[in-house]
Amino acid sequence: MRTLFHERDFLRLWMAGLCIFVVRWLEILAVGVFAYAATGSAFVVAVLTMLRLLPMGLFGAFLGAAADRMDRRRALLLVVLSQAVTSAVIAALAFFDAVAVWHLAVASFMNGIAWAADNPVRRAMIGQVVGPARMGVAMSVDVATSNGSRVLGPTLGGALLATVGLDGAFLLSVVIYAPAVAAVLRLPRTPPADGAVATPVLASIAEGFALVRREPRLVGALLVTLLFNLFGWPCTSMIPVIGKDRLELGPQGVGLLAGMDGVGAFLGAVTIALLARPAQYKAIYLGGISLFLAMTVAFALATGPLVAGAALVLSGVGGAAFAIMQPTLVFLGAPAEMRSRVLGLLSVCIGLGPIGFLALGGLAELFGASAATAMMALAGLAAIAATRRWWKHI
């Protein structure tokens, strides 16, 4: 694992990812707490998080095909700059007390477009730098970084909301993006994939779908991703609501609680980076999603912050196992010239998560956030059991 950081280009991609991750989790927490305080609606909170995922379903396949046709360094620079500009606009609106929930909805959607490009652009670049043999370890480091930032980001977001306000949270986001821009500018140019420029975008997308249909391993990996994002990931949007209503925590307490998931995920990712072997990837992938869903049920039904925090730590371990193996299995299952396209399809599966967010938001309005979260996670466990015939080929 240490040798990865001797690769200067990996270090630059890692730095860019670190900045993006910290801002992502900071803003998700800040937006969730602000929106719930402004509207009192758990459904609105779920929708705002959903809007960050919606572009993956809408544009993931196109972004994957486009990534094969252009210099990925330029694409990554556009991604980072677009996020920085969006955060700056929200910071300015909040400073003048002019921010409304619909502004946050637009910002969430815009940042979701950038998020949709992460797999076919930045993570594909990581695979190019480290090679297939080290992809599992590289993804472990990347996910450990992402989940470590889930401790720092929500903690910063909660503290800034309590002391400065929404403008301070988003202004810090703009500052954090600066080193990401510097790191991306120092990356070398990456030429388009062989033959990609000559192939129309729709034809490239069709080639990616055809490959997946022929390869049972990819079908299984993408199916498990879809189930996680329908039943598991939406539940994280209820952490601010459950923390405030069921556990009676303030903004700082909610921030610390949300960070517990990141603690577990960081520990899980480091352990996998040090110990996991390719023969164990399938078990790690399926065990990860199962543990995440089971501990989400425990969190939703917890009556005190200590039990809730412990459940989130364990759910973080499971989430890290899933998140590491998700791009790794897809990357290893696709030929080199098709990886960005298939990773774009992975983003589509992630982007179908808004269906789950809408379902969870509706259930939360009917039954309350805690009951709805438990119901969704239990449904996810049932779906995993019912789809064994497809994921057994992973």
Q: What is the CA radius of gyration of the chain?
A: 20
Q: What is the pLDDT of residue 193?
A: 60
Burial of 262 (0-12, 13-18, 19+ CB in 10 A): buried
Q: What is the pLDDT of residue 194?
A: 57
Q: Would you say residue 27 lies in a domain?
A: yes
Would you say 309 and 260 are in contact if contact means Cβ atoms under 8 Å apart? Answer: yes
Three-state secondary structure along 45-106?
HHHHHHHHHHHHHHHHHHHHHHHCCCCHHHHHHHHHHHHHHHHHHHHHHHHCCCCCHHHHHH
Closest CA to 336 of 158, 198, 142, 132: 132
CATH number of domain containing 361: 1.20.1250.20
Instruction: Please give the distance of CA 225 from its chain centroid, rounded to a whole number.
Output: 12
- Enumerate residues 6+ apart whose C-beta is below 8 A from 364: 42, 43, 46, 238, 241, 372, 373
Q: Would you say residue 253 lies in a domain?
A: yes
Q: Would you say residue 250 lies in a domain?
A: yes
Q: What is the pLDDT of residue 370?
A: 92
Q: What is the pLDDT of residue 285?
A: 94
Please, what are the averages of pLDDT over each run of 10 residues along the chain (394 residues)?
Answer: 80 92 86 85 79 78 74 88 93 91 91 82 85 82 78 73 82 92 91 58 72 86 92 88 85 80 83 84 93 95 90 92 87 78 79 82 89 95 94 86
Q: What is the pLDDT of residue 256?
A: 81
Q: What is the pLDDT of residue 10?
A: 92
Q: Would you say residue 192 lies in a domain?
A: no
Enter the pTM of the model. Answer: 0.73
Would you say 140 and 269 are in contact if contact means Cβ atoms under 8 Å apart? Answer: yes
Q: What is the pLDDT of residue 195?
A: 53
Q: Would you say residue 193 lies in a domain?
A: no
- For the chain, the domain total comes to 1
Domain enclosing residue 83, as ranges: 2-185+200-391
